[in-house]
Every structure is written in C-alpha cells, then in structure tokens.
Amino acid sequence: MAGGGGSEPNLTPFIDLFSVLICFLLMTAAWIQLDSMPSSIEKATAGPTPPVDMVTPPNDEKKISLSVTVYSDKILLKENDRELFVQNIGSQFDKEKLKLEFERWRMAYQDKKDVVLNTDALVTYGDLIKMYDLLVASDWPDVGINPQ
Amino acid sequence: MDSEKIKGYASRVIRPPGYHIHPQWDLVHTRHLLHERRHKKKSFHLNLAPMVDMFSILVIYLIMNFSSSGEVFFISKDVTMPKAAKGLPMQSFPIISIIGDKVSFDAENVEGRPVYVEEPNDQKVPQLRNVLKKIRTIEVEIAGEKNFKGQINLQADEKTSVENVKKIMRVLIEEGWTGINFLVQPDK
C-alpha cells in the first residue's frame, strides 16, 4: 500500500518533492534560447592612423586593413586599396565566392583576426547579421561593425 | 473466531453449520477465495508509482533543458530575430529592442526593480540617453571606471533597416556602452 504500513515504501514524500522541483524548474526555465554576437566597436570606430614618425616599429598587421561593405545587390571586399565586388545571386549573398575570398584572406594574413564590416543604408539588419555570421564561420572572429 | 462459532453451554455445544456439501471434487481453495472476496473490506487505494515515474521523467527533462545563462524576457510577436550559426551563448545584460520606429530599453536597477523606457527611434532619444547615463554612473560607482565594460544586448527584427540599428549604436557609443551584443536565433 502506498499510504502506509506494509513492506511498500511511502511514496507521498516523493510526490511532494517532485512537485516542488517541477514548479521550481518550470518557473526558472528559459524557454527562449538565444545567442548573441559581440561586436568590436573600438576597432571599427578607430580614428585615423597616427603620423608615421609617431608610429613605433613597422608592423605588417597594422598596415593591413580588411573591410567588407554590404550593399543591397553586391558586396565590396576591400584589402587596403585592392577592391573586389561580389555580386549577389538574386537577393542572397554568393556565399561560395565570399567564403573563398575570406579563406584567401585567412591564408594571406594568418595572424590577423579583425575585419571591419560596413553597410549601405538600404541594407537590412538581417543581412548585416548574415554577413557577420559568414565572417565568423570563415575564421574571422573579431568583426567590428562600423556604426557610421 | 471459535468464540463466535461455538455457543451454548459446555454440556450442549451448539456449532453453526458449516459447509456441508461434499461433492466428489470439492474445490476447497476456490471456495476459500470466494469467501475471502465476499468478506474483503471495500477500500480504494490509488497506485502512486506511475505518478512518481511521470514526475521523475519531467524533472529529468526540465533539468536537462535548464539554462542558468539564459534570460527570460519578452519578445514581441512582430519581431523575427535573424538566425546565425556562430553565435555565443547570450548573457544577461540590459536589453535594447528596436521594434518598428520605436526603441525600448529593459533592465533592472540595483534594487532589482525593472527599468523600462520606450520612445521613438530618432537620434535624440532623451529618455534612453538618460537611463543609460544613470545605469552607467551607478555601475561605475560600484565597480569602478576600469571594470565597466558597457555590455548591452540589442535585438531587432531582421527586416529592420540597418540605419535604425546604427542610430541606436551611435547613441550607445556616445553614452559609453561599447559592448554591443546582437541577439540572434541559434541556427543549428
């Protein structure tokens, strides 16, 4: 018998305990699981480079500036002065071509981690996040979003 | 039991008549069972074991899905968060939501009371600036200027114009909140 006596254990305290546990877990459960993507504002908004005579020993990494600009119909990949446009396929990014370019950058600048991400005014927030995600997936973890 | 059956005086014992039909194959045990069933106490008892099983499964499921890093907060049904595969687990920071042409700020003050501000999303946003300044001042007073990271979560609909998002980003940077985290739906 569950209620008492006999050789069977009394299950009522178990039910009490489980009820309390379930109430606690239901109340504290995070039903909406979200991720976040941190942005490096300092790098994206860094001012103009200081004069040459103030700069301490030349460093290849400091000279290189990599940026990605998202337009509504194309993507501009800028590697210092070298520019490359990648046209969108319909309304989607040409992910294959972009990935190849990002991999080439990765191979060329193995110690560099940061890329500045610019956007045109007509672009949506969803496109910005897609490009951010693509950069992180292509091993460019330090993405600075330019707020200008 | 014998005292119930045996009555009368010692010289003349009256015994209640028992089972006296003795067929060739008397089903003694069946008769005994039927007798027991007839005289059994009518008591209802609920079997609790399946309930304990069910609760155990529920508890295990809820513990497996328990997240201490998540934050329970309201997302408007008008907002569709963008999806991203490489996001990091979200942390609990004040939240700025951009919904249509409005911007709202949701946080808790040091006393644990909710702070909520909503206003049109223009470059001025005086209420938002005011509340950002207040929270920043308090956090700097508590932890010091060096330890203030200016971390904030930003959520917006995927169709929102990036200009609206950048307006708020500029406001945040001007007020010293440079740790902007964009909230996304995990795409896994």
CATH number for the domain that contains residue B151: 3.30.420
ipTM of the complex: 0.71
Q: How many domains does chain B have?
A: 1
Q: In chain B, which among 20-59 make CB contacts under 8 A with chain A?
A: 45-49, 51-52, 55-56, 58-59
* B80 located within any domain: yes
* HEC-encoded secondary structure of chain B: CHHHHCEECCCCEECCCCCCCCCCCCCHHHHHHHHHHHHCCCCCCCCCHHHHHHHHHHHHHHHHCCCCCCCCCCCCCCCCCCEECCCEECCCCCEEEEECCEEEEEEECCCCCEEEEEEECCCCCHHHHHHHHHHHHHHHHHHCCCCCCCEEEEEECCCCEHHHHHHHHHHHHHCCCCEEEEEEEECC
* B59 located within any domain: no
Nearest CA in chain A to B168: A147
* B148 located within any domain: yes
Closest residue by Cα to residue B165 from A143, A48, A127: A127
* B10 located within any domain: no
Neighbours of B108 (CB within 10 A): 12
Full domain range(s) for residue B153: 71-186
* B56 located within any domain: no
What is the model's pTM?
A: 0.69
Q: Are strands B179-186 and B151-156 parallel, antiparallel or unpaired?
A: parallel
* B171 located within any domain: yes
* B84 located within any domain: yes
List, run by run, the mean pLDDT of 10-residue segments along chain B (188 residues): 59 71 72 80 76 90 74 68 87 87 84 84 87 90 85 90 90 90 86
Structure confidence by residue, pLDDT tens digits, A56-103: 444 554 578 889 999 988 999 998 888 888 888 887 888 889 999 999
Closest residue by Cα to residue A72 from B161, B119, B9: B161
Are residues A2 and B87, on separate chains, in Cβ contact within 8 Å? no
* B21 located within any domain: no
Are residues A126 and B158, on separate chains, in Cβ contact within 8 Å? yes
| pLDDT surpassing 80 at residue A52 | no
Q: Are A38 and B91 in contact (CB under 8 A)?
A: no
